[in-house]
Amino acid sequence: MDPQQFIVPPGLTIAPEDDPYGPYVALSRRQWADLADTIPWTLDSDTLARLRGLGDPTDHAEVLEVYHPLTQLLNLYWERTNALFSSSHDFLGLNDKQVPFVIGVAGSVAVGKSTTARLLQELLARGPRRPKVELITTDGFLYPNHLLEAMGIAHRKGFPESYDRAALLQFVIDVKSGKSDVTAPVYSHLIYDIVPDERIVIGEPDILIVEGLNVLQPARRRSDGTTALAVSDFFDFTVYVDARTSFIRQWYIDRFFALRATAFRDPKSFFRRYAEMSEAEALSTAGTFWDTINGPNLELNIRPTRGRATAILRKGENHAVTWVRIRKV
């Protein structure tokens, strides 16, 4: 499967809402699945269960029909990028080591992007050349709670301004440039904050996956009119996980209730008080969180970046991917 084949082969159906002269080709799940070659390995049930997020119903059929083709396409991009790197460095008379291939995975809270990122990491690492694949989430680059409070934006956690974007950018630049043992902060969903004095080490991967809400944000314009660099400038391939807002809102509420019965009951949990609420109170609270924080962030900041992705995975009401868009230009 070559990336160039996405110039709409004869007989390939394009979704009616798509512009045939636009930048994407849209494929139904069946059409997308049919593009992949036979792959001689699968994920066992225990591995798939480990990779799925809470309440995520991703099954073996979805791995086979959605993620195998995507992994195969990513392998093609990786190999061609490596070949271009080698050819250009030969031309320039350089002898630098191959730099990592960087994949960005974006999407709303509760849409399943973390499961997508973990599946891609697992599947890519099982590829023919057994690359070293690392995964980092941008949660670690959120400002600590005390700084968010001091900045007056604690209620906007997850919005672009709540991240230390300079630190995230420097991290990706360091990894992309081939620097060894690059470190990043660690975020704990249990305490809902950055873990003091704890770092994760990324050691010269072949492929790095960067997963987060806002990783596809374009560069910001400075006050003097110049344009800054953006994390997305250093991505070689990007994936956006998409669904209707009404579906995502329900998945968020469902996950909130699932957490009430599990992680929220941990005495150390920042959200311990929500486990003690009545169902009516919990439903109201979850709905308010979505309507005042996560929903606006999706509509104002996250979904507008969808058109910057290389691949868009569109999910239906049952959380399963129903069609795929791939950038053809």
**154 carries a ligand binding annotation:** no
Residue with tokens 């968020």: 252
**26 carries a ligand binding annotation:** no
| CA proximity to 124, closest of 204, 47, 207 | 207
**108 carries a ligand binding annotation:** yes
**179 carries a ligand binding annotation:** no
Q: Are 104 and 239 in contact (CB under 8 A)?
A: yes
**105 carries a ligand binding annotation:** no
**107 carries a ligand binding annotation:** yes
Query: Residues marked as binding for ATP?
Result: 107-114
Query: Residues marked as binding?
Result: 107-114
